[in-house]
Structure 1
Amino acid sequence: METKRLYRSRQSRMICGVCGGIAEYFNVDPTLIRLGLVLLACTGTGILAYFIAAIIIPDQPQA
């Protein structure tokens, strides 16, 4: 059985693909994740969390 892994998206990428990858992992619309990030960015923690995630989460492997 293949386990589900979190990757940065190659298809629904706007900046680094973090929001698209999280949306694909949880099977939700990427716009919802991006709106949540904007709300977190207003507090300042969202921007830091995004760039940390962009460093930590690997790119989606080529198909």
Structure 2
Amino acid sequence: MNQKLTRSSTDKAFYGVCGGIAEFFGISSFIVRLIFFFTSSVSVWVYIFLSIALDNKPSLK
């Protein structure tokens, strides 16, 4: 399995970072968003970094 961590093109609230992480690990994006919310002191910087560093997932059109 050759899966790459990308931002989600369908499950996104802001930039698709949490949706992309959820798709990568096969879990609910709600759980990922809760983790980011409860660890907000650190996760804000992680989220900003990932929104810049991750590629967009190609849409299936």
Is TM more than 0.5 here?
A: yes
Unaligned regions of 5+ residues in structure 1, if any?
none
Counterpart of 1:22, as a letter, is I
Structure 2 counterpart SS, 1:24: helix
| Larger Rg, first or second structure (1 or 2) | 1
Partners of 2:59 and 2:12 in 1: CA distance: 15
- Aligned counterpart, 1:46: 43
Counting only pairs closer than 5 Å after superposition, residues 1-63 of structure 1 correspond to structure 2 as 3-41=2-40, 44-63=41-60
User: What per-residue deviation string (whole Å, max 9, x for no partner) do you get for residues 9-56 of structure 1?
Assistant: 011100000000000000000000000000110xx2110110001001
- Structure 2 length normalisation: TM-score? 0.92
Unaligned regions of 5+ residues in structure 2, if any?
none
Counterpart of 1:48, as a letter, is W
Identical-pair percentage? 28
What is the aligned length?
Answer: 60
